[in-house]
Chain A
Amino acid sequence: MAELNLLEAINRALDESMAADDRVFIIGEDVGQRGGVFRVTDGLHAKYGEKRVIDAPLAESIIIGSSIGAAMYGMRPVAEIQFADFIFPAFNQIISEAARMRYRSNNAWEVPMVIRTPYGGGIHGALYHSQSIEAFFTHIPGLKVVAPSTPYDAKALLLASIADPDPVLFLEHKKCYRLIKGFVPDEPYTVPIGVADVARTGSDVSVITYGLMRHYAVEAAEMLAKEDISVEVIDLRTLRPLDRETVLASVKKTNKVLVLYEDNLFGGYGAEVAAIIAQDAFEYLDGPVQRLAGLDIPAMPYSAPLENEFLPTPEKIADTLRDLVQY
């Protein structure tokens, strides 16, 4: 058992999977000698060599496209997109190719690959180093989208993603990289893809969230506990496939729900979660399905007051929950 931050837990998963399976390789920008701009792949180039930790040319579409080819050949590529904001040149490869290969070939071909990418804001990354991109990708059948928020979950879910026979987009919240620490067992353990976590149990209201917002929601819940408001926090961990059972069970218990996410509000991932709750738990609801999310502006601005204004904070979450409990 070691206390690791999120970044170290991911590094450990990469190391273990490369040691266990010589089909696993890493490809991305600056992932080699430098060990990645966030140092997630630190030490792996020295340990496994430049053939298995490949410094790719600065071109996202070929990073993904070549990984698709290698996966079809039988390898287990782990591609890194340096920032989620830079993934769009590879959008077509992910959407039209990786996600559809199994379906369009009637199961003849498969693309067992992982795309790791740091996303989210709160680190003064401005418009192009802060984006949440999950809504674009959770829309797509054929793709799995995983977004762990703790070191424990991150390590196990990355190992599960690398072992998965289908393409997985693995979202790493960059503010969590060094901020969030936790104990990670040395011995093998598993967290399956598609299973949410009850991060905190409560009885008055549920928060359905993921990523950095899980931690903010827990902070808000701790504040509200002092006011005798009992908040349940569900950390989805996997965005697609969604663990509907855990979400609906929580809502049916508390009868009130806040869907919380960092992306822009309109058409965000939480909109789908809200729609599912409204449809499948309507009769259990004692209030509107509430959403709290990032502002509907193009992206997170740089200057601190502007950035803070964009993001849901523990205080804003607590305020929203107070109103909802009063409803």
Chain B
Amino acid sequence: MKQERDQAQLIEMFRLMALARALDERMWQLNRQGKAPFVISCQGHEAAQVGAAMALRPKQDWIVPYYRDLAMMLAIGVTPREVMLGLLAKADDPSSGGRQMPAHYSHRALNIVSHSSPTGTQVPHAVGIALAAQMRGDDVVTWTSFGEGTSSQGDVHEAMNLAGVMKLPVIFFCENNGYAISVPQRKQMGVENVSDRAQGYGFPGVTVDGTNVLEVYEAMTAAVDRARQGHGPTLIEAKCVRLTAHSSDDNDRTYRSADDLKAMKTRDPVHSYEAYLRSEEILDDAKIAGIRDEIKAQVNDATTFAEKAPLPDPLTVSRYVYAE
């Protein structure tokens, strides 16, 4: 029975990763068709995000994400339709009603907190949420994510320091894809692993292969247990790959060689997990085709739905500056 449940979970992880990839690819198509002014991608981060999400309790735990977290959003419960409403800046976009750029995810009902574009500003919020949960005695873990470039920000340091002092139930999740737009990690920090810094804050830091969903899940489960038991924060660094340019406005061929890009594709987390599930005989051609057909239908539905959805009324531009 346990094995069956585990198998279902393993397949669900694959479905989420493949859905995130398909949705992400569709976003780029819409961008190239001139329908979506801006896309920022999660491609290469799917395993890290889905592995992390599976260790959390949606609607109970709090999610303070950053702009690459499409797969995390889907895993917590944001629907493809909602994602597409955001991409096309439609009135019913749950993140912001079309006010923010796409991928600035927020979903109140799912405890997914709105974030801005200046990087790292969300990390102190996660610490404050964890502080509030601790004060109230609530069984809540707060998860926050950021790239390795953002780990240079002072806000990240200040947040980790306070979390360490107060032993807060928060997980700092660094999705390290090696590049901050164009700047490689070796120019960003003097250490090999972002997780090394955790020691300086008095809590554990671990580095995992962010392209291996099961490895991430395992590390996250340990961190979540630690937080729930009142032992405080964990810093998890998931080494990912960035399979696209930084965004639709970037051209990574100006700073990454063709060989580098080719090498990176060999670490594609969706492909490697599919291969693993085949080798374990959990999935076969027929099952995979079934999942992919279902995903394609979902992505098509989400696209059509969002394209037909109304844009925001310009007369609403001055609303919600203050409480009404």
Contacts and interface: CB of A to CB of B under 8 A. Distances in A.
Interface in B82-111: 93-97, 99-100, 104, 106-108
Given A51-B135, A141-B321, A65 B159 contact: yes
A165 interface: yes
Interface in A6-64: 25, 51-52, 56-57, 59, 61-62, 64
A110 interface: yes
B193 interface: no
Contacts of A141: 321
Interface in B120-134: 121, 123-133
B263 interface: no
A107 B91 CA distance: 13
Given A57-B162, A61-B154, A96-B121, A107 B128 contact: no
B165 interface: yes
A68 interface: yes
B161 interface: yes
B221 interface: no
Interface in B179-220: none
A104 B158 contact: no
A320 B155 CA distance: 46
A307 interface: no
A97 B125 contact: yes
B114 interface: yes
A52 B135 CA distance: 8
Interface string A88-99: 010011001100
A262 interface: no
A290 B108 CA distance: 49
Interface string B122-152: 0111111111110110000000000000000
Interface in A59-75: 59, 61-62, 64-75
A279 interface: no
A105 to B, nearest CB: 4
Contacts of A57: 158, 161-162, 165
A252 interface: no
A103 B99 CA distance: 8
Given A96-B116, A103-B99, A110-B323, A69 B158 contact: no
Contacts of A166: 322-323
Contact of A65 (B62, B93, B97, B158): B158
A34 B146 CA distance: 36
A54 B324 CA distance: 32
B118 interface: yes
Contact of B114 (A51, A59, A109, A142): A109
Give the bracket for the number of chain A residues in contact with chain B: 35 or more
A93 B127 CA distance: 14
A104 B96 contact: yes
Contacts of B262: none
A105 B114 contact: yes
A96 B320 CA distance: 15
B216 to A, nearest CB: 24
A89 B99 CA distance: 27
Contact of A73 (B106, B133, B322): B133
- The CB with the most chain B CB atoms within 10 A, among A51, A65, A68, is that of A65
B162 A105 contact: no
Contacts of A77: 128
B155 A69 contact: no
A100 interface: yes
Given A59-B162, A62-B155, A105 B323 contact: no
B158 A107 contact: no
A166 B323 CA distance: 7
A62 B159 contact: yes
Contacts of B123: 65
Given A56-B162, A109-B106, A142 B97 contact: no
A108 interface: yes
A92 B135 contact: no
Contact of B320 (A61, A97, A102): A102
A105 B116 CA distance: 10
A101 B115 CA distance: 8
A42 to B, nearest CB: 22
Given A104-B96, A106-B97, A61 B155 contact: yes
A71 B128 CA distance: 8
A109 B125 CA distance: 13
B319 interface: yes
A253 B114 CA distance: 47
Contact of B127 (A66, A71, A100, A110): A66
A67 B129 CA distance: 8
Nearest to B130: A69
B232 to A, nearest CB: 15
Contacts of A65: 121, 123-125, 127-128, 155, 158-159
B28 to A, nearest CB: 25
Contacts of A101: 114
Contacts of B104: 104
A93 B124 contact: yes
Contacts of A74: 132
Given A61-B154, A62-B159, A69 B132 contact: yes
Contacts of A103: 99, 320-321
29 contacts: A57-B165, A62-B155, A62-B162, A65-B123, A65-B158, A65-B159, A68-B128, A69-B64, A69-B126, A69-B129, A69-B131, A70-B128, A73-B62, A73-B133, A73-B136, A77-B128, A93-B124, A93-B155, A103-B99, A104-B100, A105-B96, A105-B108, A106-B96, A106-B97, A107-B319, A108-B107, A108-B114, A109-B108, A109-B113
Given A61-B158, A92-B155, 5 more contacts: A65-B125, A68-B128, A73-B129, A96-B118, A105-B95
Report the 8 A-B pairs with minimum CB-CB distance, sorted nearest first. Answer: A69-B128, A65-B124, A106-B97, A66-B128, A73-B132, A62-B158, A69-B125, A70-B132
